[in-house]
């Protein structure tokens, strides 16, 4: 399947320059100083936002729950530091930009855990239900970027069977090295995390997929796995988006499912290696998710590195730690392919923040009409036609875009990367999805109004 017959891979995708990772690849994990003030956003996961359970003036301890899950697909949020709640203010969300209620915690004198946390458990004695509860209690979400609540992934809906767990150690986004450091410095915990997930789901087939440019991490994880017959460590072709669920599952198991479907359709559950670490911490040590390993890198910082940070740390603090250059002009949460450009450095990290990329002289491109070179069609790992989609979306022909499976697009950016005409294909697709969403909301509102009117008329 792979290009040279041994590396596993998928079809489509792109090969961005690989040397960008060397900026932070060999920088060992460094603990960032505790923030003076932590800004804890109450929307840190895909799904419903969390509901604050503390109020201004409350004293909180590290790891104490400060906001609770408000639905099944939602997650608890915990105090990243001990201190006092200064209030709940609105702050812009680093991904959506939406004004989000934020719990502001001023640091106190100690850094002690809240009672009942940081205690070793006997994992062997835990039932799947216990594991799910511990993961849920710890507020763990997918740390690969999408921030999908992890306990949901550990709860397959009735009728769906899971037979394979895959840990994503591909880290295919250029520049980012967080998962690499995780596997290099905490391989035992990562693999333990995988074993816990397998135990929870009753699955005996586990994989760790690692891109071939991280051979050291591959060796290290492999040596930790030892002769465990249930876990295989797979070397994957270096190709973006090797770490996306569809491509990872295709590469490792050969199974395919539609872009809009979840890995469950292929009997798989995929977790990021960093999530596996967090799950290990939560289950083995009862430590909630309050820390995040963040790669801060790019030519816009003096000291790129991999920093262990408390969630809710101001971006400004982190950037001064890495030495943001004065002429840096783009700050991205995430990698260069799917990351979100920040409006300012006044934001804070959230659970899903695994990387901050700072660019100098960030380029911009002039776009032209599509010259139909077909590179985007070749690059799309989901079998879409980005050329047509971009033309339909540009013309606001949403019907046409829908016919060409607009909603199946995962916005991985391969098409836009290869585009000869430098068309902002992903941007056009995002805008169309956004407009369609608003259109639908309007129609639904209209429908509701009509029904309400009918009822009023009927009651007269």
Partner 1 sequence: MAETPERVGLIVSSSPHIRGPEDIPRVMWTVIAALVPAGLVGVHFFGYYVLTVIFLCVGSAVATEAACQRLRGRPVTVNDGSAIITGILLAYILPPSVAWYIPVVGAVFAIAIVKHVFGGLGNNIWNPALAARAFLQIAYPTPINSDWRILEHPGALQNIVLTDDKGQLVGAITRATPLFKETGWETYDYMSMLTGNTPGCIGETSAIALVLGGLFLIYKGYVDWRVPLGFIGTVFVLTQVLPSSVETPWANDPFYHVLAGGLMLGAFFMATDMVTTPLTKKGLAIFGIGCGLLTVLIRFYAAYPEGVCYSILLMNTVTPLIDRYTQPRLLGGGKTAPGGKG
Using CB under 8 A, which residues numbered 354 to 413 contact partner 1?
Answer: 357, 359, 362-365, 368-375, 377-378, 380-385, 387-388, 400, 403-405, 408, 411, 413
Is 56 near partner 1 (CB under 8 A)? Answer: no
List of residues 6+ apart from 452 with CB closer than 8 A: none
Which segment (56-64, 84-92, 289-297, 437-445) binds partner 1 by CB under 8 A?
84-92
Say if CB 310 and CB 37 are below 8 A apart: no
Task: Quote the tokens at residue 79.
Answer: 């105090």
Question: In whole angstroms, what is the distance from residue 415 CA to residue 381 CA?
Answer: 9
In 10 A of CB 5, how many CB atoms? 6
Residue of the chain from 8, 21, 65, 91 that contacts partner 1 (CB under 8 A): 91
Question: In whole angstroms, what is the distance from residue 125 CA to residue 141 CA?
Answer: 24
- Residue 271 Cβ vs partner 1, minimum distance, rounded to whole Å: 21
Please identify, using beta-carbon distances, which residue of 288 and 314 lies nearer to partner 1: 314
Task: Quote the tokens at residue 240.
Answer: 């973006």
Give the strand pairing for 206-211 and 231-236.
Answer: parallel
3-class SS at 88?
Answer: strand
Please identify, using beta-carbon distances, which residue of 210 and 412 lies nearer to partner 1: 412
Which segment (141-149, 164-172, 277-285, 328-336) binds partner 1 by CB under 8 A?
328-336
- Residue 179 Cβ vs partner 1, minimum distance, rounded to whole Å: 19
- Residue 16 Cβ vs partner 1, minimum distance, rounded to whole Å: 6
The closest alpha carbon to 328, from 313, 340, 344, belongs to 344
Residue of the chain from 129, 228, 256, 443 that contacts partner 1 (CB under 8 A): 256
- Residue 366 Cβ vs partner 1, minimum distance, rounded to whole Å: 8
Number of residues that bind partner 1 (CB under 8 A): 76
- Residue 15 Cβ vs partner 1, minimum distance, rounded to whole Å: 9
Of residues 272-311, which lie at the interface with partner 1 (CB under 8 A)? Answer: none
Is 424 near partner 1 (CB under 8 A)? Answer: yes
Is 83 near partner 1 (CB under 8 A)? Answer: no
Is 326 near partner 1 (CB under 8 A)? Answer: no
The closest alpha carbon to 436, from 388, 401, 398, belongs to 398
Handedness of CA 24, 30, 35, 39 (dihedral sign): positive
- Residue 10 Cβ vs partner 1, minimum distance, rounded to whole Å: 9
Task: Quote the tokens at residue 155.
Answer: 């709860």
Of residues 134-193, which lie at the interface with partner 1 (CB under 8 A)? Answer: 174
The closest alpha carbon to 90, from 78, 81, 103, belongs to 103
């Amino acid at each position: 399947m792979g290009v040279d017959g041994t590396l596993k891979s998928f079809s489509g995708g792109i090969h961005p320059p690989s040397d960008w990772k060397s900026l932070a690849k060999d920088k060992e994990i460094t603990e960032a100083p505790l923030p003076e003030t932590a800004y804890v956003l109450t929307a840190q996961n895909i799904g419903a936002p969390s509901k604050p359970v503390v109020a201004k003036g409350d004293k909180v301890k590290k790891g104490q729950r400060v906001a609770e899950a408000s639905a099944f697909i939602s997650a608890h949020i915990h105090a990243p530091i001990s201190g006092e709640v200064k209030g709940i203010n609105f702050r812009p969300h680093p991904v959506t930009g939406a004004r989000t209620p934020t719990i502001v915690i001023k640091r106190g004198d100690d850094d002690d855990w809240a009672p009942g946390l940081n205690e070793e458990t006997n994992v062997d004695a835990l039932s799947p239900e216990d594991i799910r509860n511990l993961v849920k209690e710890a507020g763990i979400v997918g740390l690969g970027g999408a921030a999908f609540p992890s306990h949901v992934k550990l709860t397959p809906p009735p009728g769906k069977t899971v037979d394979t767990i895959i840990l994503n150690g591909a880290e295919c986004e250029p520049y980012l090295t967080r998962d690499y450091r995780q596997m290099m410095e905490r391989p035992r915990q990562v693999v333990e995390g995988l074993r816990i997930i397998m135990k929870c789901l009753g699955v005996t087939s586990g994989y760790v997929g690692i891109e071939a440019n991280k051979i050291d991490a591959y060796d290290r994880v492999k040596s930790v796995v030892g002769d465990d017959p249930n876990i295989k460590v797979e070397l994957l072709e270096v190709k973006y988006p090797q770490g996306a669920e569809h491509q990872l599952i295709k590469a490792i198991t050969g199974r395919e499912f539609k872009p809009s479907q979840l890995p469950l359709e292929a009997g798989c559950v995929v977790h990021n290696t960093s999530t596996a670490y967090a799950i290990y911490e939560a289950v083995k040590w009862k430590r909630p998710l309050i820390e995040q390993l963040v790669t801060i890198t790019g030519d816009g910082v003096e000291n790129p590195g991999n920093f262990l940070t408390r969630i809710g740390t101001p971006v400004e603090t982190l950037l001064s730690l890495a030495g943001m250059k004065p002429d840096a002009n783009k700050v991205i949460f995430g990698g260069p392919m799917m990351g979100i450009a920040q409006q300012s450095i006044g934001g804070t990290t959230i659970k899903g923040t695994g990387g901050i990329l700072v660019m100098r002289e960030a380029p911009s491109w002039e776009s032209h009409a599509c010259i139909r070179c077909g590179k985007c069609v070749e690059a799309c790992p989901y079998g879409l036609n980005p050329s047509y989609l971009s033309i339909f979306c540009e013309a606001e022909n949403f019907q046409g875009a829908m016919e060409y499976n607009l909603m199946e697009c995962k916005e991985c950016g391969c098409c836009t990367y290869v585009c000869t005409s430098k068309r902002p294909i992903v941007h056009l697709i995002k805008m169309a999805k956004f407009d369609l969403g608003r259109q639908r909301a309007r129609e639904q509102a209209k429908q509701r109004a009509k029904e309400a009117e009918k009822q009023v008329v009927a009651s007269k």
